[in-house]
Structure 1
Amino acid sequence: MSDDAQNLVNQTYTSPEDPIQDDSPERLSAFSSLLEKYRYTGGRSNAAKAQSPSKNMSFLKEGRTPTAGRSTTSDIDLRSLAPRQSPRSSPRKRARADGDASSSAKDTQLASNSTATSAPSSPTASSRKRQKIRQKRGYAPPETYEHLRVLQDYLQPNLDVVFCGINPGYRSAEMGHHFGHATNHFWRCLHLGGFTERQLSPTEDHTLPDIYNLGITNLTDRPSKEAAELSTTEQKASIGPFLLKIARHRPRVVCFVGMNIWDLVKDYIQDVLPLPDTPSPSSSPTESSTKVKPISESQRRRKFKAEIAERCGKSKPGLKPFKLVYDEGEDGQESSSPRQTLFWSLPSTSARVVNFQLVDKAALSKEAKEFVGRLNEPETAREVNTFYALRASSVIM
């Protein structure tokens, strides 16, 4: 207690014979005047204090004494600073209010979690994002999958169609059967396209030549989980042996199961195709007097490739304007054997290829089947006569 307050108490209550119950107006008025100096005014000016005396002191001016349990001036002023409490609500309203508060807290927590998850700097968010994005595979050396078996080709002479994949997949190599993964669309497309009367299982791949006059092989023998694990050099080195394999069996059509396979084969064929004959020099005196710079072999090859690219256009499924031709009696083949092999490309039947859905792949497979049925028609023969011809004897290993 401060010295002024102690003096105030001493002046007001001087002796035990002067009890607090004494309600003399003079004493109460003096006590009120002294106590007024210590009243909290909420930052108001002295003029405002004089003009608006505190209502809390009215009991002193009226000559009443504070009774037991009545709040003191300091208590009243402190309570005025606290927020006013509302009357007690019913149990139902309190339960509803508690539920709203709980929901608000949950929403705040969810918003906080969402902000933390979406923050790019959060290590948890980064790790989750890495888990969702499948990492692309790169080149894998042969020893990576040397424990897997090489799949057997199912070929025989004079087949209608030979289907060619890029290389055996991991699951196919484990099973020992072509297109063995459960999600691969090959066997369904083969049936929906009309090549087989029912959907075969991968374990029936050996029945294709004898029952359906179809064959199956791969451009590269080495198995892997993804084609990206094969090097481009390795794939290009497989094209020569592949074409020689085709020349030995002479199918009517080679159908590439994957348009990127055809892109590799086309690049190879463009490099070994014989260049078209150049026109003989003119004997006209006017033209002969003008010196024409001879075109080099490399320039002619580039011009020839540009012509092929313009004719082929953008890579798409279907028939290709190339053919592998055979000389009569070549490789001991009978005279009834096909004299040429045509090329057709289809999208990859892997379920990872989403640009073409199953219904699209099945429709394109049906187009290939219908084309094989038209091979002996004159219109097809006329179209094939305009194709670029690659002689089997010019294929380089």
Structure 2
Amino acid sequence: MSLFAPKEDEVDEEVLEESPTAECLSRFQASLSRFSYNFDATAGVGHGVSASNFSKTVQTSPSKKDRSMKSESSQPVASPLKRQRIDEEQASDSEPLEPVSPSKKAKGKRPARRYAPPEVYAHLKPLNDCLLQSLDIVFCGVNPGQRSAETGHHFGHPTNQFWKCLHLSELTSERIPPSEDFTLPERFRLGLTNIVDRPTAEANELKDTEYKEGIAPFLSKMVRYQPRIACFIGLKTGRIMLDHVTRTQTSRSVRPVFAPGLQPYKLIHSTSVEHSRDCSTSETLFYAIPSTSGKTQSYQIPEKVTLFAQLRADLKKVKDGSLSSANFLIIK
């Protein structure tokens, strides 16, 4: 027997002394295993989250979400005056020649055009008026748009809502295509003209002085053809016309506030021999309706149709004599 070999009774004693401690430790570790957490990176697979992107999926920052909701809920509602101003900026018989793609919309609005001298659009010709004596309504646009000038027809761009509004308001019994604009006077007693003759791509390319210079020729047409109502398509034209009429007839403190619809002035017609045979109206009233351009977003189609329908209702009153214009200013 080796001198260093352990005695059997000593070994057994050592094991017996350590066994209770080892057993307790084992039980304690087993009890802790119930509270352990094992991360499984593939747990999201099959439930809309890939394993590779699992670590990238984080919750949206509450502060950023709150700011987004606050921004959406706090959009201001445009006041009537602001809507008129927006309409004036966008009013035109012209439209974008190409549809705007969603990607372009996302990048932001295209900047508004600025004044363009006549030589820029010298290749485009003015439109012919569609007029006859004593029509019910003569619609006066701002100026020919580029598409209208190219086709030779009023409100010629496919996105312009003029012809749709005419039909929906029952001023025409059917929707007339722009190519048949010349049939309006005889078929529906409606006429077409513009306050400015020269074409542009957008109304912003005109100067205010061009509107003002167009008033005298326009009124000369109204004196000659004597319609019951002249309706401006574009609020800026109506505003400039009201300023022209009231500037010399009323003090600034009592001038009427401009608003869409029936205007507070009229044109009295003479009963000269030249017109006595054909003239069936003694005065022309004036109306203003927002631009029917597809770019005008401040007034939606239902609102425009409502104004066109009101125009039709007022025309009926003019015909049966129930609309009084006794207090209207007289254009001199």
Q: Output the CA distance in 2 between the equivalents of 1:342 and 1:212.
A: 18
Instruction: Check 1:251–1:97 CA distance in 2 against 1; reply closer, same or farther (3 A cut).
Output: closer
Residue number among 303, 315, 318 corresponding to 1:375 in the alignment: 318
Q: Output the CA distance in 2 between the equivalents of 1:97 and 1:248.
A: 80
Q: Output the CA distance in 2 between the equivalents of 1:94 and 1:211.
A: 76
Residue 271 of structure 1 and its aligned partner are, at CA, apart by 3.6
Is 1:324 equivalent to 2:300 in the alignment? Answer: no
Is 1:343 equivalent to 2:286 in the alignment? Answer: yes
8 Å CA contact 1:150–1:173 kept in 2: the answer is yes
Greater helix share, structure number: 1
Tell me which amino acid in the other structure corresponds to 1:136: A
Tell me which amino acid in the other structure corresponds to 1:151: L
Matches within 5 A, 1:191-206: 191-206=167-182
Matches within 5 A, 1:1-397: 95-96=42-43, 101-104=51-54, 106-107=56-57, 131-271=107-247, 273=249, 303=251, 305-307=252-254, 309=255, 312-313=256-257, 315-329=258-272, 332-334=274-276, 337=279, 338-380=281-323, 383-391=324-332
**Higher RCO (CA 8 Å, separation ≥ 6 residues):** 2
More divergent stretch after superposition (211-220 vs 369-378): 369-378
* Aligned Cα root-mean-square deviation (Å): 3.5
User: Which position in structure 2 is the counterpart of 1:30?
Assistant: none
Residue 133 of structure 1 and its aligned partner are, at CA, apart by 2.2
Q: Output the CA distance in 2 between the equivalents of 1:321 and 1:356.
A: 22
Tell me which amino acid in the other structure corresponds to 1:194: E
8 Å CA contact 2:159–2:293 kept in 1: the answer is yes
TM-score by length of 1: 0.59
Q: Output the CA distance in 2 between the equivalents of 1:386 and 1:154.
A: 31
User: Which position in structure 1 is the counterpart of 2:26?
Assistant: none
* Bigger Cα Rg: 1
8 Å CA contact 1:318–1:346 kept in 2: the answer is yes
More divergent stretch after superposition (99-108 vs 207-216): 99-108
8 Å CA contact 2:145–2:199 kept in 1: the answer is yes
Give the SS at the match of 1:320: strand
What per-residue deviation string (whole Å, max 9, x for no partner) do you get for residues 10-37 of structure 1? xxxxxxxxxxxxxx9xxxxxxxxxxxxx
8 Å CA contact 1:328–1:335 kept in 2: the answer is no
Instruction: Check 1:373–1:101 CA distance in 2 against 1; reply closer, same or farther (3 A cut).
Output: same
Tell me which amino acid in the other structure corresponds to 1:316: A
Instruction: Check 1:306–1:336 CA distance in 2 against 1; reply closer, same or farther (3 A cut).
Output: farther
Q: Output the CA distance in 1 between the equivalents of 2:41 and 2:172.
A: 73
Residue 94 of structure 1 and its aligned partner are, at CA, apart by 6.3
Residue 376 of structure 1 and its aligned partner are, at CA, apart by 3.5
Residue 130 of structure 1 and its aligned partner are, at CA, apart by 9.0
Instruction: Check 1:250–1:100 CA distance in 2 against 1; reply closer, same or farther (3 A cut).
Output: closer
What per-residue deviation string (whole Å, max 9, x for no partner) do you get for residues 150-186 of structure 1? 1110011111100011111111111111111111110
TM-score by length of 2: 0.69
Tell me which amino acid in the other structure corresponds to 1:191: H
8 Å CA contact 2:260–2:288 kept in 1: the answer is yes
Query: Structure 1: which 5+ runs fail to align?
Result: 1-23, 25-88, 115-127, 274-300, 392-397
Provide the identity percentage: 38
How many residue pairs match? The answer is 261
Q: Output the CA distance in 1 between the equivalents of 2:242 and 2:50.
A: 70
User: Which position in structure 2 is the counterpart of 1:298?
Assistant: none
Tell me which amino acid in the other structure corresponds to 2:309: K
Q: Output the CA distance in 1 between the equivalents of 2:132 and 2:265.
A: 22
Residue 377 of structure 1 and its aligned partner are, at CA, apart by 3.3
Residue 221 of structure 1 and its aligned partner are, at CA, apart by 0.6
Residue 101 of structure 1 and its aligned partner are, at CA, apart by 4.8
Q: Output the CA distance in 1 between the equivalents of 2:248 and 2:177.
A: 39
8 Å CA contact 2:136–2:227 kept in 1: the answer is yes
Instruction: Check 1:141–1:105 CA distance in 2 against 1; reply closer, same or farther (3 A cut).
Output: farther
Query: Structure 2: which 5+ runs fail to align?
Result: 5-37, 65-103
8 Å CA contact 2:121–2:199 kept in 1: the answer is yes
Tell me which amino acid in the other structure corresponds to 1:173: A
8 Å CA contact 2:44–2:54 kept in 1: the answer is no
Residue 192 of structure 1 and its aligned partner are, at CA, apart by 1.0
Residue 131 of structure 1 and its aligned partner are, at CA, apart by 3.5
Residue 97 of structure 1 and its aligned partner are, at CA, apart by 7.8
Q: Output the CA distance in 1 between the equivalents of 2:287 and 2:44.
A: 72
